[in-house]
Chain A
Amino acid sequence: MSSQLPATAPANASSAPSARSTPTVPPKPRNHVRTAFIAAAFVAFTVLACTPGIGGVDIDLGAFVQHWRNGWNKFVQLLQPNFAFLPRTVGPMLETLQMAIVGAFAAALVSVPLTLWAAKPTNPSWPVRTFVRTVINVIRSIPDLVYASILVVMVGTGALPGVLTLFLFDIGIIVKLVSEAIDSSEHGYMEAGRAAGGSQLQINRLTALPQVMPLFANQWLYVLELNVRISAILGLVGAGGIGRLIEERRSFFRYDDVSAIILEILVVVIIIEVISNLLRRRLV
């Protein structure tokens, strides 16, 4: 579509003045071949993804007709949360919050140098930059629960593998988002610092860091929220927190307790969101 524009635009511009009363409307830029190609690729990928023979998803709508009652019973139970269970959740919830805070704090500490190493304006040496970015990408591409299940074997069950999982997960997010923001932002201050003869370290500390501090703070608060959500599932593999309780109540088929815990997580996440929004408004 865009490749046609330069060719048609001047032609229309020259023909427009000749039509006095009604201005000619330029032809709508259309590219049927491209649209058809995209649609075909989309359909092909979807069909392949739904072909069980080659490992795709077997869309089995018949199961709904047959077994909908099984799920419905659980769902009805979920809709009747047992709030009497809440006092027992206080301890694990506290542990979840502690894990979230410690994980986010440790990640915040480590993320600052890593981010400055991963961004182009703050680290002109490309081998180091590429190395740090690759490590971060590898860290990011392993899902949180996979970390947790492997770390549980490595260091034993409890809060420690949970905190380590959150730490790794948070670093991936913070470094990626903030270093990309540094890359794409204006570097006027940093250029001024360089023009004044500052070393890279001085430039980073005195110009780059103050400029990106609000971004960092933003991401730190964001991963804190994420951590509370994630630690709800870390317990499934034995990595501590409220998830362990969810897993326990679920294995007893006490879905009323499970939904009370889920509602509690919802409330805690909302409270953290409100607090971090207040802090954010302060910072930005």
Chain B
Amino acid sequence: MSAPTTTARQPAAHTATPEAPARPSRGRQTIITVIVGAIILAAASGLRIDWTDLGRVPAQVVHYLQLMFGPPNWEKLPRALEETWRSISMAWVGAIICVVISIPLGMLAAHGIGPAWLRFVLRGLFAVIRAVPEVIIALLLLAVTGLTPFTGALALGIAGIGTQGKWVYETIESVQDGSAEAVRAAGGSTAEVARWALWPAAKASLLSFALYRFEINIRTSAVLGLIGAGGIGSMLSNYTNYRQWDTVGMLLIVVVLATMLMDTISGAIRRRIMEGAKPRGMERSS
């Protein structure tokens, strides 16, 4: 792009080796790097953290890890397993509530399905829900349903609508192709378009997202437990407050193993759903 300058700068290029084009200017990149660096430095210096504290963090962490895992106290394991199941139930019921509400709403919020005003209203609603932390929703519900796992499940269900709804309309918009138009051209109503064009195309992704919501809820249910909604999170927060570190260590092991197990199962099912959607075994006929 700037051949004259290269030859001017590299007179030796007359020999057999072909001349390399000039390196693209890095000026803009440098400016961006400097700005980003300045923002990060400003943020780090603005924080009221005594950075020398950071030096004693490793020693503290090792100390507490020894208290937790050297060795963990397995006495309360049966109760921990029961509470884990309560958390999983909370996550599952929450996921069902969330998915059942967000699939129709998300479909209506997709381009070309519902009217424009409804689209804006729904997308605004999703954005607002996304900004409200689950914990706040749970604290609101708490006044109605009390400190129960049901409150946790409801909070998970409602708090998830924001993100889940967004995924649904993004999925619907990405699968929208000729089929929706074809159904509409054949005289189909919006409901028929959704049933015969959008749902078959988006089904696999939507189911996969639904299971993914369950995985997210398992993590979040532990958070809701911290405010007293029950489940493994409540137990964890109680024993942290009692400073019974060996039991906390056992609970952490249970949380990690249970989360990984559920992730593995759910991930395997999701992969099956997504791959099942592809026409396997068709390569033989061609």
Contact = CB atoms under 8 A, between A and B. Distances in A.
A194 interface: no
Nearest to A65: B144
A154 B61 contact: yes
Contact of A97 (B43, B60, B88, B252): B43
B12 interface: no
B40 A101 contact: yes
A237 B240 CA distance: 12
A55 to B, nearest CB: 4
Contact of A99 (B47, B90, B222): B47
A143 B236 CA distance: 11
Given A2-B281, A5-B280, A160 B133 contact: no
A71 B256 CA distance: 34
B255 A56 contact: no
B246 to A, nearest CB: 14
A18 interface: no
Contacts of B282: 5, 9
B69 interface: no
Contact of A2 (B89, B236, B259, B276): B276
Nearest to B87: A55
Nearest to B243: A153
A266 B131 contact: yes
Contact of A158 (B44, B49, B83, B226): B49
Q: Tell me what chain B mostly uses at the interface: helix, strand, loop, or mixed.
A: helix
Contact of A6 (B89, B144, B281): B281
B93 interface: yes
B25 interface: no
A15 interface: no
A61 B248 CA distance: 34
Contact of A71 (B61, B141, B236): B141
A236 B135 contact: yes
A132 interface: no
A55 B49 contact: no
Given A98-B44, A143-B223, A74 B57 contact: no
A237 B255 CA distance: 19
A84 interface: no
A269 interface: yes
A137 B48 CA distance: 31
B148 interface: yes
The 5 closest A-B pairs by CB, nearest first: A266-B131, A141-B259, A49-B89, A71-B144, A70-B143
Interface in B13-33: none
How many interface residues does chain B have, given as a range? 35 or more
Contact of A145 (B148, B223, B263, B284): B223
A236 B136 CA distance: 10
Interface in B250-265: 252, 255-256, 259-260, 263
Interface residues of A, number: 72
B46 interface: yes
B158 to A, nearest CB: 12
A138 B85 contact: no
B134 to A, nearest CB: 8
Interface in A126-148: 137-138, 141-146
Interface in A249-284: 250, 258, 262-263, 265-266, 269-270
A10 interface: yes
Contact of A154 (B60, B141, B222, B285): B60
A146 B222 contact: yes
A67 B144 CA distance: 5
A195 interface: no
A195 B146 CA distance: 65
A233 to B, nearest CB: 5
8 contacts: A64-B144, A67-B146, A95-B47, A105-B40, A233-B134, A243-B133, A250-B139, A262-B131
A2 B277 CA distance: 9
B82 to A, nearest CB: 5
A141 B219 contact: yes
